[in-house]
């Protein structure tokens, strides 16, 4: 006879499920999974990446997820008649996991305000610039064009204005005289891989939360949310 309590414990939901939403390469997903494993988030924080959702079938991030035994879902925008239809399907997929946190890690779509409201305070994004400078695409090219001396990356709560939600954490890097888009992107990406897992951990621990359109800190120093690379 089956042991009912054993099957009950097998189906017990993870206390803090995280779902990561991607569209491409997946290096930030990789960084998050690596850090979660190294720091034993599952036993230490009761938090786990339980699923990855991709808006592209050929996203390399899918292989990253599979290599870590994380279930994947592919939702192709072209299969939906409208932006809101896509977002509703995405919400249905996410809600299957009752996520504590949704991490947009290279997700290349604008979300509808209704979707954003539904997950307010539970959804973060990583953007490759020091916001509010350079929201949108081609941030490294635009930073070089503007002649900035310092560039970087931002993790923020997602709001209904693209790349403009309350800032959680930032990493800054110098811009070198001989930088091109690729070298600058690589320097920023290296910091993204430190920044995102750290910011996610702080949010999971309740040390950073959304309140009145600001990211409020609880029991951590402001300095823990800024990385300055040389």
In the list 17, 99, 106, 152, the residue contacting ligand GRF (rule: CB under 6 A) is 106
Q: Is 68 a catalytic residue?
A: no
Adjacent-strand bridge partners of 47: 16
User: What does the block give as tokens for 122?
Assistant: 């539970």
Binding span for ligand GRF by CB under 6 A among 22-30, 43-51, 82-90, 197-205: 22-30
Q: Give the shortest CB-5-to-ligand GRF separation in angstroms.
A: 40
Burial class (CB in 10 A: 0-12, 13-18, 19+), 117: exposed
User: What does the block give as tokens for 104?
Assistant: 């947009």
Residue 198 in contact with ligand GRF, rule: CB under 6 A: no
Residue 173 in contact with ligand GRF, rule: CB under 6 A: no
By C-alpha distance, which of 165, 164, 187, 166 is closest to 175? 187
* Comparison of 28 and 55: residue with beta carbon closer to ligand GRF: 28
Residue 54 in contact with ligand GRF, rule: CB under 6 A: no
Q: Give the shortest CB-90-to-ligand GRF separation in angstroms.
A: 17
Residue 165 in contact with ligand GRF, rule: CB under 6 A: no
Residue 56 in contact with ligand GRF, rule: CB under 6 A: no
Residue 27 in contact with ligand GRF, rule: CB under 6 A: yes
H helices within the chain, ranges in order?
4-11, 27-38, 41-44, 61-67, 83-95, 113-118, 139-146, 181-204
Position of minimal CB gap to ligand GRF: 106
Half-sphere CA count of 229, side-chain side, radius 13 A? 22
Q: Give the shortest CB-41-to-ligand GRF separation in angstroms.
A: 19
Active-site annotation holder among 73, 127, 151, 156: 127
- The C-alpha atoms of residue 21 and residue 77 are separated, in whole angstroms, by 13
- C-alpha dihedral (137, 132, 227, 102), degrees to nearest 10: -70
As annotated, the active-site residues are 127
User: Which stretches of the chain bind ligand GRF, using CB under 6 A?
Assistant: 24-28, 61, 105-106, 126-128, 153, 189, 192
């Amino acid at each position: 006879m089956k042991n009912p309590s054993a099957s009950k414990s097998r189906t017990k939901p993870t206390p803090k499920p995280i779902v990561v939403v991607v569209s491409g390469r997946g290096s930030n997903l990789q960084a998050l999974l690596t850090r979660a494993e190294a720091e034993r988030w599952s036993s230490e924080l009761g938090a786990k990446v339980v699923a990855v959702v991709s808006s592209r079938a050929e996203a390399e991030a899918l292989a990253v997820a599979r290599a870590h035994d994380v279930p994947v879902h592919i939702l192709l925008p072209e299969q939906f008649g409208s932006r809101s239809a896509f977002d509703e399907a995405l919400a249905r997929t996410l809600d299957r996991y009752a996520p504590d946190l949704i991490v947009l890690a290279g997700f290349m779509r604008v979300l509808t305000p209704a979707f954003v409201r539904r997950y307010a305070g539970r959804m973060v994004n990583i953007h490759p610039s020091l916001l509010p400078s350079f929201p949108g695409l081609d941030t490294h090219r635009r930073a070089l064009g503007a002649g900035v001396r310092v560039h970087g990356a931002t993790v923020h709560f997602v709001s209904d204005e693209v790349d403009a939600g309350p800032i959680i954490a930032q990493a800054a890097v110098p811009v070198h005289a001989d930088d091109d888009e690729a070298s600058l992107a690589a320097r920023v990406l290296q910091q993204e891989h430190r920044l995102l897992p750290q910011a996610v951990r702080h949010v999971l621990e309740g040390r950073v939360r959304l309140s009145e359109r600001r990211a409020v800190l609880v029991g951590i120093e402001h300095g823990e949310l800024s990385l300055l690379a040389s």
